[in-house]
Amino acid sequence: MKWFRVAVVMLCLSMPVAARAEAPFGLQSGDRVVFYGDSITDQRLYTVYVETYVVTRFPLLAASFTHSGWGGDRVSGGGGGTIDVRLERDVIPYQPTVMTIMLGMNDGGYRAFDDEIFERYMQGYQHIIETVQKALPQIHFTLIEPSPYDDVTRTPNFEGGYNAVLIRYGEGVRDYAQKIGATVADLNTPVVELLKKANAIDPKLAQRILPDRVHPGPQGHLIMAEAILKAWNAPAIVAAVEINAKKKRVVQATNTKVTGLKSSADGLTWKQTDQALPMPFDPNDPLTALVMRCSDFVQALDQEPLRVTGLKAEHYELKIDDETIGTFTPAQLTEGINLAELATPMSKQAMEVETLTEKHNTVHYGRWRMIQVPLVGITAPNLQRTLDDLNALDGELVEEQRATALPKTRTYELVPQSATQN
């Protein structure tokens, strides 16, 4: 699934980065993450987005990711086997140090709240935690409050609606997470708020955020990924630069290195080596534009501010590696432009990383769901060799993904433009 991008031209860059970014990021080098859940996890969208963010924002962080969602799953298991089969086959062998769990959509039964059903859900949830902890005593959990059923853009099927049931399930997950000291991520509230805001602007388009009321489209998954990353104290800043052109001085360089600053009648030039990449989006996708307008994704996770003061010409063309990024006034450059919202060589590099993230997860999915599980019990001599070869291919794609995310030095130019040139 392609990353989406929207050109929300100006961002209020003067706002402080949220306090959560001051805490250490929730993953450490060497962490092994397993994403566990039902069909919403099985879509491999929010999970791919989380992985891509980590790889692009922390290119030297050696963390690995395995996607183990199975459509229809409950806390008791489902089409892929009982919960004990699922955990023994699809979680524990990967020796995760971090496990995310999102279950509940199917457990609630798509009916009004029932105390007995809820109690079985919480007992099953506890069984999952205790089983994994017994095998992996040092594991850390991120428990996810279930994503919503869309009772916003459509009329609820019964009084109160099914999402009210999922909110009760989420409260149970939150209370249990606090009890065991686990991280908790709320994937319901931010998507519901998004639906409300989008529905007030464009009801027809808003329905596409959760097309079937259960499974979010890519843009909805992006906001769900944001919720997990916030729970992990993900930083908003990609890189931040401020230059005083008049004094020919770099005032600020955060998460980047600026060298070779030169000023002349032909403009301003410098080289910049960022330590992270932005999240790229498609500027021509109307649903993404609506989602970005109705959420805080850019402000919370995708800030790449460039400020340049002391400029005198009427307009300036910004080039990066000889590519024209846009034309701006001195006032815009003084206020700051968010490069993460523009088509840049950095966003194209991030897109390449995202594509490799998808590819390596597709290889893992094929190995697991199309060969390992269907052929269980088969003693064909080449079966294990095939599984091993696919594991090796997966690893090679991950290596390429990480290499693609590594910092590159870019050449920046601000070229004066007269009014007639615009």
Apex 219 CA angle, 217 and 222, nearest 5: 115
Q: Give the relative orientation of helices 218-231 and 286-293 as an angle to the nearest 10 degrees.
A: 30
Spatial CA neighbour of 210 closest among 45, 24, 412 = 45
Q: 200 with 28: CB under 8 angstroms?
A: no
pLDDT in the model for residue 22: 66
> Amino acid identity, residue 367?
R
Superfamily of domain 19-231: SGNH hydrolase (3.40.50.1110)
pLDDT score recorded for residue 11: 33
Q: How many CA atoms lie within 13 A of 381 on its CB side?
A: 0
Rounded CA-CA distance 29/22 in Å is: 18
Q: What is the pLDDT of residue 264?
A: 87
- Enumerate helices (H) and strands (E) in the chain, giving the number of each: 13, 16
Query: Which whole-number Å values give the CA distances from 89 to 121, 287, 330, 360, 385, in the listed order?
Result: 21, 38, 59, 20, 18
Share in percent of the chain as helix, strand, coil (round to 5)? 45, 20, 35
CB of 38 closer than 8 Å to CB of 124 = no
Q: Shortest CA distance to 285 belongs to which of 7, 52, 1? A: 7
Q: What pLDDT, on the 0 to 100 scale, is given for residue 421?
A: 58
Which of 44, 173, 53 is CA-nearest to residue 105? 173
- DSSP H helical ranges for 269-344: 286-293, 297-301, 330-335
> Shortest CA distance to 200 belongs to which of 283, 290, 296?
290
> What is the pLDDT tens value at each position of the chain, 422 positions in all?
333 333 333 333 333 343 444 689 999 999 999 999 999 999 999 999 999 999 999 999 999 999 999 999 999 999 999 999 999 999 999 999 999 999 999 999 999 999 999 999 999 999 999 999 999 999 999 999 999 999 999 999 999 999 999 999 999 999 999 999 999 999 999 999 999 999 999 999 999 999 999 999 999 999 999 999 999 999 999 999 999 999 999 999 999 999 999 998 889 999 999 999 999 778 679 999 999 999 999 999 999 999 999 999 999 999 999 999 999 999 999 999 999 999 999 999 999 999 999 999 999 999 999 999 999 999 898 999 999 999 999 999 999 999 999 999 999 999 998 754 55
**Rama region for 232: left / alpha / beta (φ>0; ψ in -120 to 50; rest):** alpha
Q: What span, in angstroms and rounded, lies between the C-alpha atoms of 139 and 131?
A: 11
Give the CB-side neighbour count of residue 409, counting CA atoms within 13 A.
6
Residue extents of the structural domains in the chain: 19-231, 236-422
